[in-house]
Amino acid sequence: FDFIQLGRSLIAQPDLVNKAKSNLKFKSKCIHCNECVGSIEYEGGVYCPLFNPKWDNEMKFLITGAFGNLGLMCVDQALQMGFQVKCFDLDNKNSKKLAANYGSKIEVTLGDLRDEKLLYQLIEDVDAIIHNASVLPPTTEDNPSLAYDINVVACKKLIEVAEATNKKPTFIFPSSVTV
């Protein structure tokens, strides 16, 4: 007896069960961001905002925290779906190494999320933002003021900057229980 719970994954990929049956190595596109929950009362039905079939491949996504675990999943999925991808993460050795693996497939900006001027530059040409950048434990406990600056203040500023642009990009905030 096998019991598999699927919910959000089927919203992102209605054909998931059939694909999984035919390929045991198959992986769902769903990153469990819970953004589909916001579409429950949508007139056209529930949909996955990450993989909205109304979006075309000319769309550009900004992925913050692009070289963290969840960020890398988002980058890979967006590229697989044919979207243009702009990655943002900390300017460190690990980010540079991971970015180099993608070559010219992605646009990369490294810096500090608290840099408001940089936020405007990042957002000016994107259609959607997947915001993964955050400070995680144990750093949140060791340096709570840094965690607050990044996880609250910088996140709020990113939303304000996005709202202030003419394009009004879709804002997707996966978050996690550790943030």
- What pLDDT score was predicted for residue 145? 96
Other residues' Cβ atoms within 10 Å of the Cβ of residue 7: 10
Give the residue ranges of the chain where pLDDT is below 50: 1-6, 179
Query: What is the maximum span of the chain, computed from C-alpha positions, in angstroms?
Result: 56
Q: How far apart, in whole angstroms, are the C-alpha atoms of residue 171 and residue 162?
A: 8
- What pLDDT score was predicted for residue 77? 83
Q: What is the pLDDT of residues 112-132, one digit of tens each?
A: 999 999 999 999 999 889 899
Supply the pTM of this predicted model: 0.74
Q: In this structure, are residues 158 and 129 in contact, taking their beta carbons and an 8 Å threshold?
A: yes
Distance of CA 143 to the CA centre of its chain: 25
- What pLDDT score was predicted for residue 61? 92
Determine whether 2 is exposed, middle or buried from the number of CB atoms within 10 Å of its CB (0-12, 13-18, 19+): exposed
- What pLDDT score was predicted for residue 8? 56
- What pLDDT score was predicted for residue 55? 61
Q: What is the pLDDT of residues 86-101, one digit of tens each?
A: 999 999 999 999 999 9
Q: How far apart, in whole angstroms, are the C-alpha atoms of residue 102 and residue 155?
A: 26
- What pLDDT score was predicted for residue 6? 46
